[in-house]
Structure 1
């Protein structure tokens, strides 16, 4: 989650083709060097925030499990509370781990150039991410798969801007991120499924410029692109096989984020006293005007498309749960075949008819 539990997620699998041919060690070094400092806080304030966030991540686990009906009986892991540099280090390890269990360092001039570019992106994102569940990394303390990261300085910065009650805002953030942890912990196959499709998106023979231009020209001549917006652009620039993998990852991300938002709404009123003020302030902040450079960066990394992803996913989950209940909704986690298709996200009744 970036800039909120309901905003732009940093490491989006939709853009993870960037993991190929990147010197991620160099990217992390560049990112740490150019990342902007966080808000000014005393050591006491930061220590207090870190302790409260760690406790909130544990507190959130019970209500999330109760509402979702997932992960009962599993151990409650400890969240890692990090600063911006710590998040950059974690992200630089996670990116190549998306593609393989045993990532190898990239070398060569091209990888270093890409590493410099990726470092700048990591630096920008390190100031926006509040929290993130990373299913591809291993917890350095326990050796278990999956790591929940909470970026303390960013959470403090946003709660100050919103004038939110710190304890409420911190728990609100944790509810969303813990839901992601529960999704993957209760359904381990999701990690492999995502890795398989990310590899399909990033791998394979690259199309020649001629082939890409041919697809663009064909779409222009017909005047009827199959999809609009970012999806349409990706459809033109990728091979059919890559686009299918991209679409599967996009649908899965939409489901995961929409489910987390649904759970946050279901749990919030009973456990976060000021949840209405937090949500109103956050939504207003998210829609506030941004300078041209910020708008450009957001467009390039798909942040605005990510916001739409949350909205569509939540609408899907809301309608299915209202229609059939959470227990039957959880059929969605059975296998790749029970995940919604792109055409079903906006028409949940189609998913209900096909799967249930």
Structure 2
């Protein structure tokens, strides 16, 4: 089965910051990795030769995609872009890498939480809190590991890293009955676009990290809050994969025992101040921009690049997987069910801006955070176009 470690994992999730952080003890990172490996399901059955062939083919596709993305985006930063690792991984390794990324993102907030509340926790309560939070995080990533085709992680290392989840790509290409080489290149084109975005805007990683810290810093006010939110997130992930109707926005309600269902236990419901809501609005707009831009690039892919692209698009869309499970999970936990058209609006925004300004003109969006669209502008792209023209 294609579920043994392929590349890039030593089985550990080290502190990405390289500095001691007492807040790390609030989450059982090792327990999270162990739990994820147990929850992760097996991949398709392949021989050793087939596994090696898939890995080699995906690395070739990832490399081939670079020049196509550069030509379509007209971003010089994409020219010959090969400055961050491309890892072809299995499901368990993806889960471990995602846990590591969470650790990097949450590290500043966990440090502040420990500095403020760590002295009030007994060794026993800390051990229980750490074990529970680690278990819940492992459940989340374990469930998600079977549904992610690829992911660019901007929070790993200096230049980020591109992860391609081999068993999931093989599973979907078989399910869709499409040409494997075409499908693999198609997936790599999308993920390389995200890689290019962060290369074109080297400030973007720090900008997102800063805003994520603002959100998590306000939401994780105590170790109990941390455990509760991870519990709710794990329940959302579990129920989402079971297809429970109780998770639909229209049916959010209390259980028979009076307990609030996970569809109501979202980050959105916890945002109390205008400042917190403004940060979430900004992060939402940036996420939508990145996905919308990638979709516009994908729409520019024709048969000269991917011969069976029309068939792949039709069958992939019919499958209902035009958003990854990770994106669906993030949207659900953030309470963005009311924004179901957000990524489509991101694509409309980018297409409008490109039509009005040309691709080169649109690319001013990567010049600095002041050029990012607001959430309002995302829905009213001409206002962003006029703002950029006035600033030039």
Taking structure 2 as the reference length, the TM-score comes to: 0.71
Deviation at 1:269, TM superposition (A): 3.6
Deviation at 1:318, TM superposition (A): 1.0
Q: Which residue of 1 aligns with 2:239?
A: none
Q: Secondary structure at the match of 1:271?
A: coil
Q: Which residue of 2 aligns with 1:216?
A: none
The reply to whether residue 157 of structure 1 matches residue 171 of structure 2 is yes
Give the Cα–Cα distance (whole angstroms) in 1 for the partners of residues 333 and 200 of structure 2: 33
Deviation at 1:303, TM superposition (A): 9.2
1:60-209 → structure 2 map (5 Å cutoff): 60-70=65-75, 71-73=77-79, 75-77=81-83, 78-100=85-107, 108-138=127-157, 144-204=158-218
The reply to whether residue 317 of structure 1 matches residue 350 of structure 2 is yes
The reply to whether residue 262 of structure 1 matches residue 276 of structure 2 is no
Q: Alignment partner for residue 380 of structure 2, among 338, 341, 347?
A: 347
Deviation at 1:234, TM superposition (A): 4.9
Deviation at 1:178, TM superposition (A): 0.2
Larger Rg: 2
Which of the pair has the greater relative contact order for Cα pairs under 8 Å at 6+ separation?
A: 1
Give the Cα–Cα distance (whole angstroms) in 2 for the partners of residues 69 and 178 of structure 1: 14
Q: Alignment partner for residue 248 of structure 1, among 260, 282, 302?
A: 282
Give the Cα–Cα distance (whole angstroms) in 1 for the partners of residues 297 and 319 of structure 2: 22
Shift of the 195–287 alpha-carbon distance from structure 1 to 2, 3 Å rule, reads closer
Contact conserved, 2:267 with 2:335, CA < 8 A, in 1? no
Contact conserved, 1:39 with 1:157, CA < 8 A, in 2? yes
Contact conserved, 1:130 with 1:152, CA < 8 A, in 2? yes
Q: Which residue of 1 aligns with 2:38?
A: 33
Give the Cα–Cα distance (whole angstroms) in 1 for the partners of residues 339 and 136 of structure 2: 21
Deviation at 1:145, TM superposition (A): 2.6
Q: Alignment partner for residue 59 of structure 2, among 44, 51, 54?
A: 54
Deviation at 1:75, TM superposition (A): 4.2
Deviation string 1:2-28 (CA, Å, 9 cap, x unpaired) is: xxxxxxxxxxxxxxxxx9943222111
Contact conserved, 2:293 with 2:350, CA < 8 A, in 1? yes
Give the Cα–Cα distance (whole angstroms) in 2 for the partners of residues 204 and 102 of structure 1: 9
Give the Cα–Cα distance (whole angstroms) in 2 for the partners of residues 103 and 148 of structure 1: 26
Give the Cα–Cα distance (whole angstroms) in 1 for the partners of residues 290 and 107 of structure 2: 22
Deviation at 1:117, TM superposition (A): 0.9
Structure 1, unpaired ranges of 5+ = 1-18, 139-143, 209-227, 289-294
Taking structure 1 as the reference length, the TM-score comes to: 0.78
Root-mean-square deviation (CA, aligned residues, Å) is 3.2
Shift of the 156–124 alpha-carbon distance from structure 1 to 2, 3 Å rule, reads same
Aligned residues: 308
Give the Cα–Cα distance (whole angstroms) in 1 for the partners of residues 169 and 100 of structure 2: 22
Shift of the 325–200 alpha-carbon distance from structure 1 to 2, 3 Å rule, reads same
Contact conserved, 1:133 with 1:181, CA < 8 A, in 2? yes
Deviation at 1:243, TM superposition (A): 1.9
Q: Alignment partner for residue 239 of structure 1, among 249, 272, 277?
A: 272
Deviation at 1:115, TM superposition (A): 1.1
